[in-house]
Amino acid sequence: MTHVFVAPHPDDVALSCGGLIAGLRELGQNVAIVTVFSGMGAVGTLTGYQREALGFGNKAVWPNTEAFNRANVGNDYPSSTDGALAPWLAADDRLAATQTAADASARRFWQRASWYRRADIHAGSQASGTAPDDVAQQGAVLTDALVDAGIAGDVMAERRLEDERYAAFAEASVIFLDLPDAVFRGYEGDDQLLGAPRPDDRAPIEILRTEIARLEPQKVYLPLGIGGHVDHQLMRQVGVALLTEREDWVMPGPRWAGSVAFYEDFPYAYWGEFTRLEDLPAGALDGIASDVALTPEYAAISEVVERKIRGIALYESQMDRLFGGVDPMADAVRAHAARIGRLGAVPGGAERYWATSLL
C-alpha cells in the first residue's frame, strides 16, 4: 500500500506536503509522487511571460554537476583477452549471482511503481543495447541526457531534474506523466493562468485514475487549488471526480471516499492566509456528493520541518521567484507551519489536509 501524492508541477508536493512525507518515511510507509504537468518546452520558443510563469528568469540556477552516472563506474571484468582475472575481480559465475540478487532487490523496491528499473551491476548495456540509466525519467537517477538538457536550457527538463533530486532525498518513487504545462497549452498572462480552465482544457481524470489505481493507494493526496492556478484547479477536479465514483462490485477498485484527501497549496495558502474551505471560490468543490464529508486533519511536523525546508531548497530554479531566496523560504515555511499548528492546536507546527469520508 502506498501514499500517493499528486503534484500539478515539480515542487508542488515538496512545498505543500514535505513534512507529512518525511514523517511517513520515518514510519516506513511507501510514498509515490505523481507529477502531472511536466511536459517539455524549449526556452528558445517561450515568451517572456511563459519563462516567468515557469520560474525561469535571469536568476535561474543551472546545474553543472551530476550524480549516479554509470559512466563513472569501472568495468566489473577485464577488457584484456588473456582470460586472467586480477585478484580483486570477480569470476563470471559470481557476477551472475550478484546480478540475480540485485535484480530481486530492485524488483522489491520498485514493485509499487508503474514502471520498473532493472539493477545492472555492470557498466555496460543490457542485451537490448540500451543501458537502463540511459532511459530518461525512470526513478531518481540523474542521467547524462537529462542533465545535458537542463544545462542547454530546457526548462521542464530542469524542473524534472529537481523533482528527481527531491525524490531521492525524500526516499520516494516519482512518476512523470509529462502532460504539457498550462503555459504550453495556450494560457497567457495572469488573468488566464489564474482564471477558470478553458472548456476545451479538461482535467486528465482517466489518466490519473489509472495511474493512481495501479499504485494500490492507501491514501491519495490532491491539491485544493488555493491560489487558482489552472493546473491546480484541474487536479482538484480530478479529486472531485474520483469522489463521485462508488465501489465497482464487478471489478473492485479503490474506494475513493475515505482514501482521497486534499492538501493546501503552499505558498498560496500562506500568502492568502487561507483558513477554511469557504475561502475557496464559489463552486470549487461542486460535484462532491452530499454523503461525502470533508474534515480537517493536522500532521504535526515540528520534528521534520527542517527536513522539509532542505527538500524544498532542492528546487533551486524556484527559490528567487517564489520567495526571494532560500532563507526567506525557510522563514515562510516555519511561519506557515506555526500558523496551521495554532489553527489545529498542534504544538510546534503542522500541515493541514482535508480528509474525506462517507457519512
Residues 49-91 pLDDT 10s? 555 555 543 322 223 333 333 333 444 444 544 455 555 556 6
Q: 168 and 126 share a domain?
A: no
Q: 114 and 176 share a domain?
A: no
CATH code of the domain in which 251 resides = 3.40.50.10320
Q: 252 and 311 share a domain?
A: yes
Q: Please report, as a single letter, which amino acid is at residue 246.
A: R
Q: 223 and 340 share a domain?
A: yes
Q: 257 and 352 share a domain?
A: yes
Residues 35-46 pLDDT 10s? 999 876 444 455
Provide CB contacts within 8 A for 79, sequence distance 6+.
Answer: none
Q: Is residue 209 part of a domain?
A: yes
Q: 205 and 333 share a domain?
A: yes
User: What pLDDT does 128 receive?
Assistant: 47
Q: 229 and 346 share a domain?
A: yes
Residues 2-12 pLDDT 10s? 999 999 999 99
User: What pLDDT does 136 receive?
Assistant: 42
Q: Is residue 288 part of a domain?
A: yes
Q: 86 and 54 share a domain?
A: no
User: How many domains would you assign to the chain?
Assistant: 2
User: What pLDDT does 323 receive?
Assistant: 94
Q: 210 and 258 share a domain?
A: yes
Q: Is residue 147 part of a domain?
A: no
Q: Is residue 145 part of a domain?
A: no
Q: How many CB atoms lie within 10 A of CB 295?
A: 10
- SS3 call for 231: helix
User: What pLDDT does 120 receive?
Assistant: 58
Q: Is residue 148 part of a domain?
A: no
Provide CB contacts within 8 A for 353, sequence distance 6+.
Answer: 20, 221, 261, 262, 263, 264, 296, 297, 298, 299
CA atoms of 70 and 136, how far apart (whole Å): 14
Q: Which residues of the chain have pLDDT under 50?
A: 41-44, 56-78, 80-82, 112-116, 126-130, 132-140, 148-153, 250-251
Q: Is residue 268 part of a domain?
A: yes
Domain boundary, last residue among 91, 106, 135 = 135
Q: Is residue 143 part of a domain?
A: no
Q: 299 and 320 share a domain?
A: yes
Residue 11, all three cell numbers: 515542487
Q: Is residue 146 part of a domain?
A: no
Q: 57 and 99 share a domain?
A: no
Q: 80 and 177 share a domain?
A: no
Could you tell me the residue range of the domain that residue 190 belongs to?
2-62+153-358
User: What pLDDT does 209 receive?
Assistant: 92
User: What pLDDT does 316 receive?
Assistant: 93
Residue 192 exposed, middle or buried by CB count within 10 Å (0-12, 13-18, 19+): middle
